[in-house]
């Protein structure tokens, strides 16, 4: 009954004032006590949810466009036009599939959700066609696009939408398919002689400010940098470096919008720097990157990443990070005197399978090799939950447990791009090797 009353209130306000936007609804099985509305990654409003799962808010002075609706840990996109009165209903246990809108502005948002859901259903079908020849694959893609475009024409004929909304929906429809074509191209063993398959690229504007925070749009551009740059690489012996320098060139030649350019360059830099091991290549890449990027904040961030990579080279002293030991004492690991060399590993109690696999591996190694000590570093913030798990683990003389005090600081200094990273030092904290956890047994032989 309460949700129907909320709909009535929203519709009443909508009729009374077309310049003010309202949003409300009901969330079943809520996982947080609020929802958040964001525009371009900037918080517009946190809206509290009552005990019945109902929320309501007036949103003043909104501009038309794409927004994020967040109910942790889930998020979805919203299209909002000034004067909308949106009522949504969802069950968090089945977030996207249960999300339904009513009220003024609901049709475009229901249509957007339907686009996302249909793409998820079609994804495996498109992948099943990756082994087709070019003409057959293009027929599949053209057929899908024709159906979607015909449905979109019907939608536009029966629903009044502004230019901004039409653009968002148009790109939401075609970008997943175009990204699949780029994936198909990247899987080809030999470059295509025909330009027919590349014609769809002319249908995508790479400088649309209104989509600069739309994940499918950015993912599509990233896939373009991959394919177009890889084709230029040919048989260059320094392939990884040359390929990523080509990607920067592609961005410089094709993307002029400063925010989109910054985001794509930042992505390329992280992807390359976190994988490259040769410092001479890193220096060459960084010089090119800093020539191309005009965003001081991003440049400072990448320079910091570079400095942290340099600090993790063999022979360097391991960086200072603050840790808490099992007794609750604050420790740091910059210099220490240990009887054995130390193997640092990382884990999270939110990743159960990784946690179990890691400690099984540690116990297996220590059963055969006690020439090293393991220092495990937990990345979570709940001290009691961490201690409860550690107390249930097998006690070993060569195994010590720590928890990071400041995960953001630690992850930057350790360049922790995944939890499979292993850092090995001598008994005084000087770095000997950096490995992946799967390489550890071979290293210790």
pLDDT tens string 430-442: 999 999 999 998 8
**Average pLDDT over the chain, rounded to an integer:** 88
Q: Among 55-69, 155-169, 249-263, where is mean pLDDT lowest?
A: 55-69
CA angle (289 as vertex; 284, 294 as ends), nearest 5: 150
pLDDT at site 375: 95
Tell me if 184 sits within 8 A of 137, measured CB to CB: yes
pLDDT at site 1: 45
Tell me what the mean pLDDT of segment 96-110 comes to. 89
Strands 34-39 vs 42-48: parallel, antiparallel or unpaired? antiparallel
Tell me if 211 sits within 8 A of 217, measured CB to CB: yes
- Split at pLDDT 50, 70, 90, the class of 5 is very low
In whole angstroms, give the CA distance from residue 233 to residue 239: 7
Greater pLDDT, 331 or 422: 422
pLDDT at site 376: 96
Tell me if 54 sits within 8 A of 26, measured CB to CB: yes
pLDDT at site 234: 53
Tell me if 104 sits within 8 A of 14, measured CB to CB: yes
What is the DSSP code (8-state) at residue 430? B
pLDDT at site 112: 95
Of 289, 159, 263, 247, nearest to 208 by C-alpha is 263
Tell me how long the chain is.
445
φ, ψ at 39 (rounded to 5°): -125, 120
At 333 the three-state DSSP class reads coil
What percent of the chain shows pLDDT beyond 70? 93
pLDDT at site 244: 94
Q: Is the pLDDT of residue 17 over 70?
A: no
What percent of the chain shows pLDDT beyond 90? 60
pLDDT at site 354: 94
In whole angstroms, give the CA distance from residue 414 to residue 284: 22
Tell me if 173 sits within 8 A of 218, measured CB to CB: no
Q: Is the pLDDT of residue 61 over 80?
A: no
User: What confidence tens digit (pLDDT) does each residue in 131-143 have?
Assistant: 888 888 889 999 9
User: What confidence tens digit (pLDDT) does each residue in 229-261 have?
Assistant: 876 555 455 588 999 999 999 999 999 999 999
Of 213, 137, 205, nearest to 177 by C-alpha is 137
Q: Which two tokens stand for residue 361?
A: 């591996």
* HEC per residue, the chain: CHHHHHHHHHHHHHHHCCCCEEEEEEEECCCCCEEEEEECCEEEEEEECCCCCEEEEEECCCCCEEEEEEECCEEEEEEECCCCEEEEEEEHHHHHHHCEEEEECHHHHHHHHHHHHHHHHHHHHHHCCCCCCHHHHHHHHHHHHHHHHHHHHHHHHHCCCCHHHHHHHHHHHHHHHHHHHHHHHHCCCCCCCCCHHHHHHHHCCCCCHHHCCCHHHHHHHHHHHHHHHHHHHCCCCCHHHHHHHHHHHHHHHHCCCHHHHHHHHHHHHHHHHCCCCCHHHHHHHHHHHHHHCCCHHHHHHHHHHHHHHHHCCCCCECCCCEEEECCCCEEECCCCCCCCCEEEEEECCCCHHHHHHHHHHHHHHHHHCCCCEEEEEECCCCHHHHHHHHHCCCCCCCEEEEEECCHHHHHHHCCCCCCCEEEEECCCCEEEEEEEHHHHHHHHC
User: What confidence tens digit (pLDDT) does each residue in 178-218 have?
Assistant: 999 999 988 876 656 667 778 889 999 999 999 999 999 99
User: What confidence tens digit (pLDDT) does each residue in 303-318 have?
Assistant: 999 999 999 999 999 9
Q: Is the pLDDT of residue 4 over 80?
A: no
Which domains are assigned to the chain? 2-103 (2.60.40), 115-311 (no CATH), 322-444 (3.40.30.10)
Task: Quickly count: other Cβ atoms within 10 Å of residue 342's Cβ.
Answer: 23
Of 419, 351, 423, 349, nearest to 391 by C-alpha is 349
Of 188, 206, 417, 248, nearest to 434 by C-alpha is 417
């Amino acid at each position: 009954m309460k949700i129907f009353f909320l709909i009535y209130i929203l519709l009443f306000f909508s009729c009374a004032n077309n310049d003010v936007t309202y949003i409300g609804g009901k969330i079943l099985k809520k996982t947080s006590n609020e929802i958040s509305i964001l525009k371009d990654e900037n918080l517009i409003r946190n809206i509290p949810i009552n005990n019945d799962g109902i929320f309501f808010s007036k949103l003043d002075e909104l501009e038309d466009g794409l927004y994020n609706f967040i109910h942790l840990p889930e998020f979805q996109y919203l299209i909002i036009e000034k004067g909308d009165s949106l009522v949504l209903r969802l069950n968090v246990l089945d977030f996207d599939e249960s999300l339904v809108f009513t009220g003024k502005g609901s049709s475009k948002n229901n249509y957007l959700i339907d686009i996302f859901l249909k793409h998820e259903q079609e994804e495996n079908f498109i992948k099943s066609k990756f082994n087709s020849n070019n003409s057959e694959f293009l027929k599949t893609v053209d057929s899908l696009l024709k159906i979607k475009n015909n449905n979109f024409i019907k939608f536009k004929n029966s629903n009044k939408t502004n230019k901004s909304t039409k653009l968002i929906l148009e790109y939401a429809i075609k970008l997943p398919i175009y990204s699949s074509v780029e994936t198909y191209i990247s899987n080809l063993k030999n470059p295509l002689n025909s330009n027919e398959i590349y014609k769809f690229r002319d249908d995508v504007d790479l400088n649309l400010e209104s989509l600069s925070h739309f994940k499918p749009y950015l993912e599509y551009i990233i896939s373009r940098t991959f394919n177009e740059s890889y084709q230029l690489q040919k048989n260059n012996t320094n392939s990884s470096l040359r390929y990523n320098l080509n990607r920067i060139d592609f961005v410089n030649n094709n993307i002029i919008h400063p925010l989109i350019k910054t985001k794509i360059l930042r992505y390329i830099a992280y992807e390359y720097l976190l994988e490259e091991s040769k410092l001479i290549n890193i220096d060459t890449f960084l010089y090119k990157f800093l020539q191309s990027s005009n965003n001081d904040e991003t440049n400072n961030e990448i320079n910091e990443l570079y400095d942290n990579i340099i600090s993790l080279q063999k022979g360097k002293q391991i960086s200072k990070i603050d840790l808490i030991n099992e007794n609750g004492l604050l420790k740091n690991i910059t210099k220490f005197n240990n009887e054995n060399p130390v193997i640092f590993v990382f884990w999270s109690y939110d990743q159960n399978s990784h946690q179990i696999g890691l400690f099984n591996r540690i116990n297996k190694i220590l059963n055969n090799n006690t020439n090293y000590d393991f220092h495990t570093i937990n990345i979570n913030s709940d001290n009691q939950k961490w201690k409860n798990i550690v107390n249930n683990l097998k006690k070993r003389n060569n195994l010590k447990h720590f928890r990071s005090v400041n995960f953001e600081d630690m992850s930057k200094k350790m360049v922790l791009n995944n939890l499979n990273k292993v850092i090995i030092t001598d008994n005084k904290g000087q770095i000997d090797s950096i490995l992946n956890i799967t390489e550890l047994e071979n290293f210790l032989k």
